[in-house]
């Protein structure tokens, strides 16, 4: 267990229980915690008028009809491409297929963006029954990145608007982690009495992130009704907690509430940072389209504490033994047990990317992402991963292959030797060939890519505006928190950003295919300085580069304790 000694833990618990963590100096008796089973139904819902229900049904029917156009148009494009191939024009067939799939991806992205705007604009403020529940924030931390401290500051300040009690558990791997002094200084500066710093020790049976998260669950307050896992690159907005709590209280079958990020490279950032952004461009769309599904992102997950401690659907067991990806395992549990994961209307977050990201950084990032697709704990998870991976590889190849082939064909035509003047038959043949050149869809293909980049460009502008609105960007209160906000000021969108977006999108879809092959053929991956080995889709080894195996066990036994129990907690 990741706890202090029994005497120290009891004393800290008494001090912790005597104060309201969000209002230092106020007795928690004024904010009394009720047992989980004493709550009334979570939402004070009103019966919708008949017209509203009809409009909602019409919107759903229209959405299904609109989504039905995707396979129909794809079939038509592929059929036309097959016809061109049978007519002896393979390049034209590939160009037509690439243009068709690119336009379909554009349609997919535009649909997700429109739905996201509609959901944010039409959102309703959830009304929770009193008293609000206690939430334990668990943040697995490793090092300090460019925006880490700003995000932690926002977390510790913005969540004060949550009327219920909360605690913040920052969990690191070892006591020499460079994040510890920064966190100590920040906690002291903000006088946050509800923050605790934990050392989990070195992971031996799971990924280090999962090991830290499990340590946080073990150390969570006994009265916490919900546990919220957050990455250090997430800056929650004031509406996040009420919405996620409402989603979990609305339906007991819902296993968890989650969100998704949109990567935000710096306007003058490297093309490699825009290539990193491209990975989540289409993957994030299902989160926008469905309020409930089986798509999970580990950077923001809220679960019921009772479910975690009771090991509902063996989620904790899957995490503890051989767990590598927290969100992939959670998604597999949802699929295996037909349980939904809730995607809130406002649960999306900007993820600033480093401006100086290199192609080495991109290669390591994309290989780590694909490596998770070659890990599974059930036959159903293997099937889903195989389908998603094959579909992504096919679409990426079909979208990018016509460009180099068209360039080679153009160079070959330019290098062709013209016929001699005296050769009348050759001249006649050349004239006949010139009069009926093979069909080309190069212009259509190029237009599709320009529109694709424009759709992503506009989508990023809209996402940035919505995130600023949720953080208070359109209200005077934003100026009061602008010094602590992790969301940057309005971005200078221009032609340079569009061109970087275009180059990043194309290069990502070119490189991601060999990256997936490399990840699939490899039995290990390095993540955060730790080498993880797999065999038959299961995590088999965890090797820490900085420490030997004996020292790893020693740190795991000694380090699993609370190293920062504030005396005034």
DSSP states along 217-241: HHHS-TT-SEEEEE-TT----TTHH
pLDDT at 73 over 60: no
Task: Provide the pLDDT for residue 468.
Answer: 83
pLDDT at 484 over 50: no
CA distance 137 to 132: 15
Q: Are 569 and 15 in contact (CB under 8 A)?
A: yes
pLDDT band per the 50, 70, 90 thresholds, residue 456: very high
| Helix, strand, coil percentages in the chain from 3-state DSSP, rounded to 5 | 55, 15, 30
What is the rounded average pLDDT of the residues 154-164?
76
pLDDT at 306 over 70: yes
Q: Is 521 exposed, middle or buried (0-12, 13-18, 19+ CB in 10 A)?
A: exposed
Sequence-separated (6 or more) residues with CB below 8 Å from residue 455: 106, 109, 110, 113
**500 token code pair:** 């970087």
**Host H or E run for residue 202:** none
Sign of the CA dihedral with 202 first, then 205, 210, and 214 last = negative
pLDDT in tens, 341-395: 998 888 888 888 888 899 999 999 999 999 999 988 778 888 888 888 998 999 9
Residue 311 zone, left/alpha/beta (φ > 0; ψ -120 to 50; rest): left
Q: Where are the beta strands (DSSP E) in 341-423?
A: 341-352
- CB atoms under 10 Å from CB of 558, counted, come to 11
Sequence-separated (6 or more) residues with CB below 8 Å from residue 258: 287, 295, 296, 297, 300, 301, 302, 327, 341, 342, 343, 347
Pairing of strands 135-140, 226-230: parallel
pLDDT band per the 50, 70, 90 thresholds, residue 415: confident
pLDDT at 19 over 50: no
Task: Provide the pLDDT for residue 486.
Answer: 44
Q: Are 463 and 350 in contact (CB under 8 A)?
A: yes
Q: Where do we find the tokens 């799939």?
A: 101
pLDDT in tens, 520-546: 999 999 988 899 998 888 888 898 875
Helix spans in 122-170 (H): 148-158
Task: Provide the pLDDT for residue 41.
Answer: 32
Q: Are 247 and 256 in contact (CB under 8 A)?
A: no
pLDDT band per the 50, 70, 90 thresholds, residue 407: confident
pLDDT band per the 50, 70, 90 thresholds, residue 467: confident
**% pLDDT > 70, the chain:** 71
Q: Is 435 exposed, middle or buried (0-12, 13-18, 19+ CB in 10 A)?
A: exposed
Pairing of strands 341-352, 256-264: parallel
69 or 167, higher pLDDT:
167
CA distance 471 to 186: 21
- CB atoms under 10 Å from CB of 31, counted, come to 19
CA distance 249 to 253: 10
Sign of the CA dihedral with 10 first, then 14, 15, and 20 last = positive
Helix 271-283 to helix 359-373 angle (10° resolution) is 20
Q: Where do we find the tokens 């906690």?
A: 187
In the sheet where 538-544 sits, what is the strand order? 524-527, 530-535, 538-544
Task: Provide the pLDDT for residue 74.
Answer: 56
pLDDT in tens, 187-207: 888 888 888 999 999 998 899
pLDDT at 144 over 60: yes
Pairing of strands 135-140, 166-172: parallel
Highest mean pLDDT: which range of 61-65, 158-162, 419-423: 158-162
What is the rounded average pLDDT of the residues 310-332?
90
pTM: 0.77
CA distance 302 to 248: 8
């Amino acid at each position: 267990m990741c706890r202090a000694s029994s005497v120290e833990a009891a004393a800290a618990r008494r001090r912790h229980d005597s104060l309201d963590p969000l209002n230092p100096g106020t007795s928690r008796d004024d904010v009394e915690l009720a047992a989980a089973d004493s709550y009334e139904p979570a939402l004070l819902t009103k019966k919708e008028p008949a017209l509203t229900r009809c409009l909602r049904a019409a919107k759903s029917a229209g959405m299904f009809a609109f989504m039905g156009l995707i396979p129909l148009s794809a079939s038509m494009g592929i059929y036309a491409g097959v016809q061109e191939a049978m007519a002896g024009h393979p390049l034209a067939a590939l160009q037509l297929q690439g243009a068709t799939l690119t336009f379909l991806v554009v349609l997919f992205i535009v649909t997700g963006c429109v739905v996201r705007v509609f959901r944010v604009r039409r959102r309703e403020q959830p009304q929770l029954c009193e008293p609000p529940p206690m939430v334990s924030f668990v943040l697995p931390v490793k090092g300090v990145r460019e925006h880490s401290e700003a995000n932690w500051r926002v977390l510790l300040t913005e969540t004060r608007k949550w009327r219920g009690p909360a605690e913040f558990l920052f969990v690191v791997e070892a006591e020499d982690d460079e994040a510890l002094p920064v966190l100590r200084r920040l906690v002291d500066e903000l006088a946050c009495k509800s923050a605790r710093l934990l050392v989990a020790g070195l992971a031996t049976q799971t990924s280090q992130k999962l090991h830290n998260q499990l340590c946080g669950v073990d150390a969570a307050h006994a009265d916490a009704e919900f546990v919220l896992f957050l990455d250090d690159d997430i800056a929650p907005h004031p509406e996040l907690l009420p919405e996620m709590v409402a989603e979990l209280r609305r339906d007991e079958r819902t296993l968890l509430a989650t969100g998704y990020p949109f990567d935000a490279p710096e306007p003058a950032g490297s093309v490699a940072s825009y290539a990193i952004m491209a990975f989540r461009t289409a993957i994030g769309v299902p989160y926008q389209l469905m309020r409930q599904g089986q798509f999970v992102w580990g950077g923001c997950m809220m679960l019921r504490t009772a479910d975690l401690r009771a090991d509902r659907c063996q989620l904790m067991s899957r995490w503890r033994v051989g767990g590598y990806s927290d969100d992939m395992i959670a998604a597999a549990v949802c699929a295996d047990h037909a349980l939904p994961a809730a995607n809130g209307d406002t649960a999306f977050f900007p993820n600033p990317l480093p401006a100086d990201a290199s192609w080495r950084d991109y290669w390591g990032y994309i290989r780590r992402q694909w490596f998770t697709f070659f890990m599974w704990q059930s036959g159903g998870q293997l099937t889903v991963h195989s389908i998603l991976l094959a579909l992504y590889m096919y679409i990426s190849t079909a979208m990018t292959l016509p460009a180099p082939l068209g360039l080679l064909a153009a160079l070959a035509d330019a290098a062709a030797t013209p016929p001699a003047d005296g050769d009348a038959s050759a001249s006649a043949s050349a004239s006949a060939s010139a009069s009926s050149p093979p069909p080309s869809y190069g212009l259509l293909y190029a237009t599709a890519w320009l529109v694709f980049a424009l759709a992503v460009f506009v989508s990023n502008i809209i996402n940035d505006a919505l995130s600023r609105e949720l953080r208070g960007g359109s209200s005077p209160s934003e100026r009061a928190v602008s010094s602590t906000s992790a969301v940057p000021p309005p971005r200078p969108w221009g032609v340079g950003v569009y061109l970087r977006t275009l180059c990043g999108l194309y290069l990502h879809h070119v490189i991601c295919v060999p990256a997936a092959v490399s990840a699939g053929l490899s039995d290990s991956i390095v993540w955060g300085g730790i080498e993880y080995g797999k065999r038959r889709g299961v995590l088999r080894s965890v090797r820490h580069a900085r420490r030997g195996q004996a020292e790893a066990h020693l740190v795991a036994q000694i380090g699993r304790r609370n190293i920062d129990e504030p005396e005034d907690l």
